[in-house]
Homo-oligomer: A and B are copies of this chain.
Amino acid sequence: MISRLCFCLTLISFGVSSHAQTIHSPDRKLTLQFQLNAAGEPTYQLRFGAKPVVKPSRLAILLQGQPGFDKGFTIAKIDSSVHDDTWTPVWGEVKQIRNHYRELAVTVQQAAVQNRQLVLRFRLFDDGLGFRYEFPAQDNLKYFTVQDELTEFNLPANHKAFWIPGDYDSNEYTYSTTRLNAVNTTPIEPIQLKSAPTTVQTPLMLKADDGLYLNIHEAALVNYPAMMLNVNTQSFGLSSQLVPSATGAKAYLQTPEHTPWRTIVVADNAPAILASKLILNLNEPSKIADTGWIQPQKFVGVWWEMHVNKAAWNYSDASNLKLAGTDWAALKPNGRHGANTANVKRYIDFAAKNGLQSVLVEGWNVGWEDWAGNWKEEVFDFVTPYPDFDVSELQRYAAGKNVKLIMHHETSGSVTNYERRMDAAYRFMKAHGYDAAKTGYVGRIIPRGEHHDGQWMVNHYVHVADQMAQNRLMVDMHESVRPTGLHRTYPNWLANEAARGNEFNAWSSGNPPEHETILPFTRLMGGPMDYTPGIFQIKLEDWNPERNKDKQVHTTLAKQAALYVTMYSPLQMAADLPEAYEKHLDAFQFIKDVAVDWDDTRILAAEPGDYLTIARRAKGKDEWYLGAITDEQARTQTVKLNFLTPGRRYTATIYADGKNADWEKNPMAYQIRKVQVTSKSALKLQMAAGGGAAISFKGL
């Protein structure tokens, strides 16, 4: 169904007055007003009913070596239209997505700059606003360089904000929750190259005292740097701050071109923020015609055992090696190399036995002896296995058990090296039966001076997704730029990391219990995260008493299970070791059962930083899965099961925190019970501090 009504007001005589242009969202709750001020500066404001969401705020792009797109504008043309259609994602949280908005496109023109034109395009949905700058093809603008973008989001009050520090290269921080006037990233140790003290990353989650929830991010980030937000701690104004290129300029563009969409999701309740499909709707449809080969999946992997110091990525303890010229077979093995043939077979066996589709193997290829921290270009070649990793034998063995191996391409940030070896690497994958890869970008980027979140790298990630697609390969990117809904366009791009994942619990101060209640409101707004949930051996000293002293996951075991529902991804790892799961096969049943692709999703309860309860219906089945999590506060929650098919009976298997469970003192206490329920039932869930609950509903 596509209906499109178009109201085109072409203003033939230039120099139209700066009368405000106003549009409403389809449900008329949101109102957007565009206006040129007295200086000919474009401004916009947004209201939710009578409540101001964004006060009058400027829109401007400054250019290098020529006058900016900032002032002296008159309106040349105004187009308005309504769009309403419904589309079917290749995979996702719901079966179909309605894309319903009113659009306002204002063409503005600078008489003093050879009548140069800019289009400001707004799309107003029931759940928020997207807008972008468009640079039409025109005689006086072909190639140009963006020096700065000065988009404002002037907020009306001192909202509560859930933020991480602005960083050109990393999003792997814990969240700070403060009022806007208290934003200060100074005390936070930078992960890579941190921005100014009041600059924060998007998606930025905000809560107003008047009951509104706001999320500010961007959609369809292509050929442009990621946007950070500068916080004015006095006025509560936010303004865009783009990640720079190696030269300091922000973006090198050619008309016709446009920026990504700047997005403001707005609702008067927190669950509606999570249910928003605004960012996906602002992305382009799939560029992949035949998507039958794209498979949401669960996987295990030779991975966590390295994080818990039970094994190593590196085959030997030699150091200062060079990729070319090292005789890898001659190195003395350290005896701790995880990616050895026998160990991988053990994971393949476990996956086959438990119906998991695939096995990731990290550390399979030469170069891990001194791979990180050296800003070194030639680290990995992506095609040479260590002597103890038998590619052909594992290909044969995995195929015999109907299990796929997932390739690992760690670039160590040396992207030039990856790009020049990419063709060979993908040919190697195809030749050895791999159909998915996890990529990694740990460390400083090469080309030196570029950043993970700058224009050049943004284009690189898209290039990888595109090249993988052309080879019918799926991809999961780690340390990449935060996602912006591009998985709609490249549905083979299953997931990203681009946030602080579960592994931080293994070797840092960890992720506080609230962490997973915030991520869906922030990082996950842009797309699925490979959070690597499912750690059942919560206390990590058991794996390596000396090196993991006091290290633990900051949740209960039941909460780890719940994350498979609350942390949406079509690619979910069962991240713990097979031997950890073998000790808790009753609880592992939930991970075996839970779906990774859905026909429906209901956000039953949510408050950022506090709690989250989500139910989802498995793709093509009358099977529901529910995840409920809490922060460091124990909570009791009653869940109405009215999402179930009326009149049908279900067995609900409830994986709950045990009595006296506590994320810190008693994290592994859980209880499993089965009850019969209908859509009229309600369940009372008791969640421990840092705990949660997971429930499967299977029709009788």
Contacts and interface: CB of A to CB of B under 8 A. Distances in A.
A320 B416 contact: no
Contacts of A142: 319-320, 370, 374
Interface stretch (A247-255, A347-355, A540-548): A247-255
A420 B426 CA distance: 13
Interface in A377-435: 377, 416, 419-420, 422-424
Nearest to A253: B376
Stoichiometry, as copies per complex, reads 2
Interface in A349-376: 370, 374-376
B416 A447 contact: yes
A358 to B, nearest CB: 27
B322 A252 contact: no
Contact of A449 (B137, B143, B247, B255): B247
Interface in A243-267: 245-247, 252, 254-255
A450 interface: yes
A463 B324 CA distance: 13
A456 interface: yes
Nearest to A423: B423
A336 interface: no
B448 A375 contact: no
A320 B424 CA distance: 33
Given A419-B416, A424-B423, A376 B143 contact: yes
Contacts of A463: 420
Contacts of A447: 246, 416, 447-450, 456
Q: Tell me the dominant secondary structure on chain A's binding face.
A: loop
Contact of A419 (B255, B376, B420): B420
Contacts of A422: 420
Interface string A447-460: 11110000010010
Max chain B C-beta neighbours (<10 A), residue from A143, A424, A449, A450: A449
A412 to B, nearest CB: 12
Contacts of A377: 252, 459
B252 A376 contact: yes
Contacts of A252: 375-377, 448
Interface in A136-158: 137, 142-143
A124 to B, nearest CB: 29
Contact of A143 (B143, B254, B374, B448): B374
Contacts of A375: 143, 252
A375 B449 CA distance: 17
B245 A448 contact: yes
B376 A320 contact: no
Nearest to A322: B254
Contacts of A322: 254
A246 B454 CA distance: 15
A463 B245 CA distance: 25
21 contacts: A142-B319, A142-B320, A142-B374, A143-B376, A246-B247, A247-B448, A247-B449, A252-B376, A252-B377, A254-B322, A254-B374, A254-B376, A377-B459, A419-B420, A420-B420, A420-B463, A423-B423, A423-B424, A447-B448, A447-B450, A448-B456
